[in-house]
Amino acid sequence: MNKYREVFSLNGMWDFRTVADDYKADEIAKGCQRMSVPASMNEIVTDKEIKEYVGKFLYERNFSIPIYEKKHYRLRIGATSHKCEVYLNGTKIGGSPSGFYPIDLPLDNLKETNRLSIIIDNRLDFQCLPVGNLVDGKQIINHDFYNFTGIHRDVLIYTLPEKYIEDISIKTVVNGDYKKVFVETKTNCETVSYTVLDRDNHIVAESKTGDLIIESPNKWSGEDPYLYTLVVETESDKYEERFGIRKVEVKGTEFLLNDKPVYFKGFGLHEDFTILGKGNNSAVNIRNFELLKWINANSFRTSHYPYSEEIMDLADEYGFMVIDEVPAVCMKWWDGGNFGKERVNDETKILHKELIKRLIDRDKNHPSVVMYSLANEPETAEDNAVPYFEDVFSYARTLTDLPLTYVNCAVVWKCQCTHLVDVICINRYHGWYEQHGVLSSVEPCLGKEIETFYERYKKPIVLSEFGADTIEGLHSLPSESFSEEFQMEILDETCRLLDKYDYCIGEHVWAFADFKTKQGLTRVRGNRKGVFTRDRQPKLSAHFLRGRWENKQ
Ligand code: GCB
């Protein structure tokens, strides 16, 4: 919001109900209950049928806002899960093929009072991301997080002047002196000017062309996440975008930030909290970042989908390096034949590429994003996975200079796609899913695989998931699985192994906090591998990691 632009929030109470597949939103819905936005509905409702409903849901509300002539009105929905259609006063105005991404639509023909209807479809099949399976209307979910349904991020209306700034891309040139900044602006305005403000709001660079020089610039890093503000102003519009100056490079077996090697310390996270589900919440976001800081982490992965823009802003501010992941999760079903006509096919790939582009478009100006992850645990042992990922990776490389990876679960002896990545990220659960409870299996099994990965590819390796389900308050001496002691010991055992290899450049524990999953024999109220509980209190291993990461460089 500024002198040219207004923003109206449509967050709060909406009407809500399940609807039939042919529902068209052409009249005011009857039989609704109240529902909060942003939030998932699943842990709010008390009716089991609604909580577990597979199909379409209606969210509806009226709104009135001031109408100015000569202004564009746009609707911005941060994300719904999953697909959605949007109706204004009974007319369809757009939608989204996927959850986790912003939807931005023109709002024409506004009346004094308007009815906004959002129809969400929570079904997932092989042409969706995440991938799911639908058998005779029955939803089979194989990914290990609850299939939350709802409007998960802010719903806003914003105005634009007649001639406006549509997009800003900021490129900092970090060869040599780090001084140059190039800005590309998409706009139908005639005169554009650029000003860069430092952290104390002093002007440090000005230009009419978008090429700027900042003398003695401050770099963005974990220790000092220095952010500049770029102000783009035209004859009729203005936009402020923060950015940081930092250089990211993979050189040999090192991951360099501003020419210094970094070691990734942190977690795979989830957007997940009690009652709210996947609803964005500032209080929870800040608590998460405070805990990440407290535990001496320096990075995290947005497992397994793009997180809210508020989280990305906080990562810039707090100085966390982010591995930014697209929602390509669950391209591995145990019966095989994942990549081919019947399952993950060309249609899936078109969406996959579109979602890579939209993530990079959304997050390109965040200094915190240091690498993109193009999938989590696809079945890369299959022959058909090779042309699929060759195409996906070469497309992504046309969109960004940042390093790329996907998170691997195929053993080194079978994986066929590791040649595509800049950093090898592997998820391994020795001592948990393999040789359960046997801590002594970690070193020989994981060690052998890490060494083979290195011998074959000579690339840096991050252990992007490892851990053990742990019930807080459960203690055992000597340790047994599910106890707080066991979790601490398995993390200790694994981390000490990683210390042996200088080409291992990071450890991301699974997971930051306990999170909700579908019901299952191995899930006691969800996945309990959190180092923090679901209400964000530390388990024993949090204290262990805090000490380890304080000293680990
Ligand atoms: C994995 C998945 C993650 C699961 C985790 C587990 O490999 O990437 O989504 O939650 O294992 O705990 O099983």
**Does residue 176 sit within a domain?**
yes
- pLDDT digit of tens for each residue in the chain (553 aa)? 999 999 999 999 999 999 999 999 999 999 999 999 999 999 999 999 999 999 999 999 999 999 988 999 999 999 999 999 999 999 999 999 999 999 999 999 999 999 999 999 999 999 999 999 999 989 999 999 999 999 999 999 999 999 999 999 999 987 777 788 899 999 999 999 999 999 999 999 999 999 999 998 999 999 999 999 999 999 999 999 999 999 999 999 999 999 999 999 999 999 999 999 999 999 999 999 999 999 999 999 999 999 999 999 999 999 999 999 999 999 999 888 999 999 999 999 999 999 999 999 999 999 999 999 999 999 999 999 999 999 999 999 999 999 999 999 999 999 999 999 999 999 999 999 999 999 999 999 999 999 999 999 999 999 999 999 999 999 999 999 999 999 999 999 999 999 999 999 999 999 999 999 999 999 999 999 999 999 999 999 999 999 999 999 8
Same domain (yes/no): 261, 228 = no
Residue 126's contacts (CB-CB under 8 Å, 6 or more residues apart) are: 132, 133, 342, 343, 344, 345, 348
509 is in which domain, residue-wise?
250-548
pLDDT score, position 176: 74
> Which residue's CA is the closest to the ligand 1 atom numbered 7?
427
Same domain (yes/no): 195, 305 = no
pLDDT score, position 163: 97
DSSP 175: S
Ligand 1 mutation target, pool 510, 515, 517, 534, most atoms within 8 A of CB: 510
Q: Which residues line ligand 1 (CB under 6 A)?
A: 144, 376-377, 409, 427, 465, 510, 527, 529
Looking only at the bridges linking them, the beta strands covering 150-151 and 33-37 are unpaired
**Does residue 209 sit within a domain?**
yes
Same domain (yes/no): 438, 477 = yes
What CATH number did the domain enclosing 154 receive?
Answer: 2.60.120.260
Of 423, 490, 434, 435, whose CA–CA distance to 462 is shortest? 423
> Which residue's CA is the closest to the ligand 1 atom numbered 4?
144
The domain tally of the chain equals: 3
Q: Is 497 exposed, middle or buried (0-12, 13-18, 19+ CB in 10 A)?
A: buried
Of 24, 279, 37, 27, whose CA–CA distance to 16 is shortest? 37
CA of 350 to the centre of ligand 1 (A): 26
Ligand 1 mutation target, pool 376, 465, 518, most atoms within 8 A of CB: 465
Active site residues: 377, 465
Pull the structure tokens for residue 96: 């989204």
Sign of CA dihedral 109, 114, 118, 119: negative
Same domain (yes/no): 217, 267 = no
Please calculate the CA angle 394-398-404 and round it to the nearest 5 degrees.
Answer: 60
pLDDT score, position 179: 80
Q: Which atom of ligand 1 lies at the shortest distance from residue 527's CA?
A: 12
Same domain (yes/no): 261, 206 = no
> Which residue's CA is the closest to the ligand 1 atom numbered 10?
144
Picking from 195, 212, 235, the residue at the C-terminal end of a domain is: 235
pLDDT score, position 175: 74
Beta carbons of 463 and 506 less than 8 angstroms apart: yes
Same domain (yes/no): 155, 169 = no
pLDDT score, position 171: 93
- 261 φ, ψ to 5°? -65, 140
Same domain (yes/no): 499, 426 = yes
